[in-house]
Amino acid sequence: MTKICLVEDDPDLRENLAVVLGRADYDVRTASNGVHAIPMLLDWRPDMVVCDMLMPDGEGFEVLRSVQSTLPDTSFVMMSGAIGEVADVLEAARLLGADAILRKPFTPDELLETLAQLRDQARTAVNVSAT
């Protein structure tokens, strides 16, 4: 079962996304911010991280840097509902190493499709390196 760490400061959205992911047979653990997420990541070692970009107490870029330095094989999805100039920063997440980005609001199907694509890419990479 694919393990996903979901990092989102909005409690309602965090709970709703966790339900969607659980129903799709992902093993999900959640954190409300980067400060809580980073120790969990190091201990649990998820296959994927889905993380909000702007949060109090440890924003998404801090989590991304931690994942890159300690869990380089973990896929990372950055999400944000920011608008205006701040929204452009979400595009920078991909340049800084995020495997995918999602603009809020997004549908459950868009989230699941993004994760399925990343899971398939990771499997392909493992198969290529094994040969």
CA separation for the pair 41, 43 (Å, rounded): 5
Residue range 34-49: mean pLDDT, rounded: 97
- pLDDT of 126 reads 64
* pLDDT, averaged across the chain: 93
Q: How far apart are the first and last CA of the chain?
A: 24
Q: What is the pLDDT of residues 22-38, one digit of tens each?
A: 999 999 999 999 999 99
Other Cβ atoms less than 10 A from the Cβ of 29: the count is 16
74-117 tens-digit pLDDT? 999 999 988 877 778 888 899 999 999 999 999 999 999 999 99
Q: Report pTM.
A: 0.92
pLDDT band at 128 (very low <50, low <70, confident <90, very high): low
Instruction: Give the whole-angstrom CA distance, residue 86 versus residue 79.
Output: 12
Q: Give residue 129's pLDDT.
A: 60
